[in-house]
Amino acid sequence: MRSAMHSPDAPSPHAEDRFPMGEVEFVAMMASVQALMAISIDVMLPALGIISDDLGVRDPNQRQLVIGVFLICSGLGSLFPGAIADRFGRRPVLLTAITAYVLLSIVCAISGSFTLLLIARGIAGVFTSAMLVLPMAILRDRFEGDRMARTQSMIAMTFMVAPMLAPMLGQTVLLFAGWRWIFGITATMGALVFAWVWLRLPETLDPEHRQSIAPKVIAGNMVMALRERASLGYFVGAAFVQGALFGYINSAQQLVAEHFGAGELFPLIFGCMALVMASTNFVNSRIVERFGARRVSHTALITYIALAVLHLALAWSGEDLWIFIPLMTLSMCMMSFIGANFQSISLQPFLRIGGAAASIMSFVRTVGGSVLGALIGQAYDGTARPILATMAACGATALILVLYSERGQLFRRVNPPGFYKNMPPPTVH
């Protein structure tokens, strides 16, 4: 049995032998794969009102389901691709998911009813979950510890260009064509990424780490991931923070464009906020190996809570767009420091079952975050107060969960005892 215990900043055993691709191309490819999912969310924002009018939706809040259904189904679907990829490899599962993404984008483009659109979006979410889970598993195949956090930050930085550009892309399409062409563009993007992955991505799963596809083995691996205290608080805490972000995304068009009166400036404002958030990921990639993923993310989480409380107090006393945007942007920057580092800390113990661990963690984070985000979005009352209150509450809950994983001690540079685990040998049938 190969031990999972080795230098936290070194590549995983034999990863470079199986993965000749350079770091720049690797980061760009993984970011592009994940960006397809982000584009499917954010490119829709300027068109939600038009889609609901065209398809006869009466309740204004129902337009949010175009996003909410996709997010919830992607969370539910994330249970499967990692475990399947632990058996059959990362590459074939990822290529299948991208193919489904392209086909279902076409179905969305030709949908004649809001119900059919939601069904297609839901199925697309199930398949698209692999494009979120598998880059995590591929990254875990290659790197450990703070090096993994650094690379994840680089991926996130590049990936964040997608939500920056997506609303502006959607708005541009609407200037020249109908909303259906937005789905045509996402299908085209998916086809281009498919070709890139097909031509350049080698298989990264070590043959010695292949797992059985038997339900008992898959369930056992996922339970093992759920029972690991050093990981549990981080990925569940990430679900709460992500839920607050999804809540903002779900109601951003109503809040910023309508309540605060940004109108057609909304895509530009949203994109600028995403650009600043992407810059934060770059900063994280520069500092995380020096200070450690724990110190950086713990500081960011506490700052996030303080910002949410301050912002909520200002919202109760009255605020305008130019107070809301800077404070919300700062909060989103803290989410950047939290997300990449929480993910790398969560995955660290699971060298042999990286796919299954990535699946169950993604499931908890995405389903929990999506459901919470949908509830926050539906609680929209024409003000920013529901969003800000839940941000403060979610941040405080995440802090409690982190304290559980860290046994009450924050800001530790060295991984806690027993953090690097020797996973049981795989069983392949």
How many Å apart are CA 2 and CA 171, to the nearest integer? 52
Q: Do the beta carbons of residue 285 and residue 379 sit within 8 Å?
A: no
**How much is the pLDDT for 424?**
43
**How much is the pLDDT for 2?**
37
Q: Find how far residue 339's CA is from the centre of its chain.
A: 8
How many Å apart are CA 273 and CA 255, to the nearest integer? 15
CA angle 363, 364, 367 (to 5 degrees): 70
Answer yes or no: is pLDDT of 248 > 70. yes
At 250-284, the pLDDT tens digits run 888 888 888 888 887 887 887 788 788 878 888 88
What's the average model confidence in pLDDT over 44-50? 86
Confidence of residue 418 (pLDDT cuts 50, 70, 90): very low
Q: Do the beta carbons of residue 160 and residue 281 sit within 8 Å?
A: yes
**How much is the pLDDT for 427?**
42
Phi, psi of 350 (to 5 degrees): -115, 70
Least confident span in 151-160, 164-173, 234-243, 369-378: 151-160
At 111-140, the pLDDT tens digits run 989 999 999 999 999 998 899 889 888 887
Phi, psi of 183 (to 5 degrees): -70, -30
**How much is the pLDDT for 197?**
94
What are the DSSP E strand ranges found in 171-210?
A: none
Domain segments of the chain as ranges: 15-405
**How much is the pLDDT for 360?**
85
Burial category of 425 from C-beta neighbours within 10 Å (exposed 0-12, middle 13-18, buried 19 and up): exposed
**How much is the pLDDT for 368?**
84
**How much is the pLDDT for 160?**
65
Number of H helices, E strands in the chain: 17, 0
Confidence of residue 389 (pLDDT cuts 50, 70, 90): very high
**How much is the pLDDT for 423?**
42
What's the average model confidence in pLDDT over 383-398? 92
- Which residues, including other chains, have CB under 8 Å from residue 227's CB and lie 6 or more apart? none
Sequence length of the chain is 429
What's the average model confidence in pLDDT over 291-304? 94
Q: Find how far residue 342's CA is from the centre of its chain.
A: 12
CA angle 126, 380, 173 (to 5 degrees): 55
**How much is the pLDDT for 196?**
95
Burial category of 94 from C-beta neighbours within 10 Å (exposed 0-12, middle 13-18, buried 19 and up): buried
Answer yes or no: is pLDDT of 46 > 70. yes
**How much is the pLDDT for 265?**
84
CA angle 132, 134, 136 (to 5 degrees): 80
**How much is the pLDDT for 400?**
97
Phi, psi of 202 (to 5 degrees): -80, 170
CA angle 361, 364, 367 (to 5 degrees): 135
Confidence of residue 234 (pLDDT cuts 50, 70, 90): very high
**How much is the pLDDT for 145?**
67
**How much is the pLDDT for 318?**
78
Cross-strand pairs, 143: 11
Q: What is the mean pLDDT of the chain?
A: 83
Answer yes or no: is pLDDT of 11 > 60. no
Answer yes or no: is pLDDT of 12 > 60. no
Q: Which residue has the tokens 């409380």?
A: 309
Confidence of residue 92 (pLDDT cuts 50, 70, 90): very high
Q: 3.40.50.720, 3.30.365.10, 3.30.470.20, 1.20.1250.20: which CATH number matches 15-405?
A: 1.20.1250.20
Confidence of residue 373 (pLDDT cuts 50, 70, 90): confident
At 158-213, the pLDDT tens digits run 666 776 678 788 888 999 989 999 999 999 999 999 999 999 988 888 787 787 77
